[in-house]
Amino acid sequence: MNIKELASRLEIEEKECREFLFLFQKTATLELSNLERALKMKEVSVVERLAHSIKGAAGILGLTEIQDAAKKIERSLGLNQLDEIQSELLLIKKTLEAVTLALNKKFKDA
């Protein structure tokens, strides 16, 4: 993932972009683990709200993979297909890791 590129796409400074990504990463990681726990407990409305939140934030930052995956989760919930969710979760996790990596890389470079 290229932060510089993302920043220019969003028409913001790279520094700003980092800050937003950092906020997103922090929030989404927490939300994701909460989501997984809620899923185990079959608390559908909680899963739904968390997916909605992740989707919204990802959309803002143009992280379309995460956004689409979160959207699919929402839809599976509506159709009561809880099993379909796992693969989307995995995808979100992977992308989040990439974000984390990209953020850390800059710090190492500096």
Cβ neighbour number for residue 31 with a 10 Å cutoff: 19
Residues 19-38, interacting with another protein (CB under 8 A): 19-20, 23-24, 26-27, 31, 34-35, 37-38
# residues near another protein by CB under 8 A: 35
99 binds another protein (CB under 8 A): no
69 binds another protein (CB under 8 A): no
14 binds another protein (CB under 8 A): no
Determine which residue in the list 1, 29, 43, 102 makes contact with another protein, applying CB under 8 A: 43
- State the residue for tokens 């972009």: 17
Q: Which residues bind another protein (CB under 8 A)?
A: 9-12, 16, 19-20, 23-24, 26-27, 31, 34-35, 37-38, 43, 46, 48-50, 52-53, 55-57, 59-62, 74-75, 77-79
